[in-house]
Amino acid sequence: MVDSSRSSIPLLIFHGENYDFWFIKMMTYFRSQNLWKIIEEGFNIPEETSTLSANQKKVLEEYQQKDSQALFSLQQAMADETFPRIMGASTAKEAWDTYCRRSFKERKSNEGTCGQVMTMAQKTGALPLPWIEDPSPEKHDERSSNNK
């Protein structure tokens, strides 16, 4: 079964300008598709998968599917002139991190650029601060129930 919500949302194509705007729009897109955690944190594939339970294998497959969806979305959101910067990435996190580091090497600090964009996203409410401070779903659920 195909999830039509993913195909109906047009992605902003990045041509190398207005990165801050593109970043926030892509972050919002990934959050709306429940893919931001995979972009931000990635996931680990165990070296030995034959010992995994059926449930663990199912969860691993779901993470791999989400990662593929996120990577595909990133690839589609890059214009031909910017795509080569991420085309070697095999995971969404790798593509996102690689682009963030390489796209602004002319600035003083790559981490500073990404940090400035994250700070701007937090200030605008595009990314809630508590989720950044503690990204565990359990803590997020606790905060949600405390706010009721």
Angle at 30 between CA 17 and CA 4, to 5 degrees: 115
pLDDT tens, per residue, the chain with 148 residues: 445 444 567 888 988 888 888 888 898 999 999 999 999 888 888 888 888 899 999 999 999 999 999 999 999 999 999 899 899 999 999 999 887 666 554 444 444 545 556 565 555 555 544 434 444 444 444 444 454 4
pTM of the entire structure?
0.66
DSSP 85: G
CB atoms under 10 Å from CB of 19, counted, come to 16
Q: Which letter does DSSP use for residue 73 in this model?
A: H
Q: What phi-psi label fits residue 87: left (phi over 0), alpha (psi between -120 and 50 degrees) or beta?
A: alpha
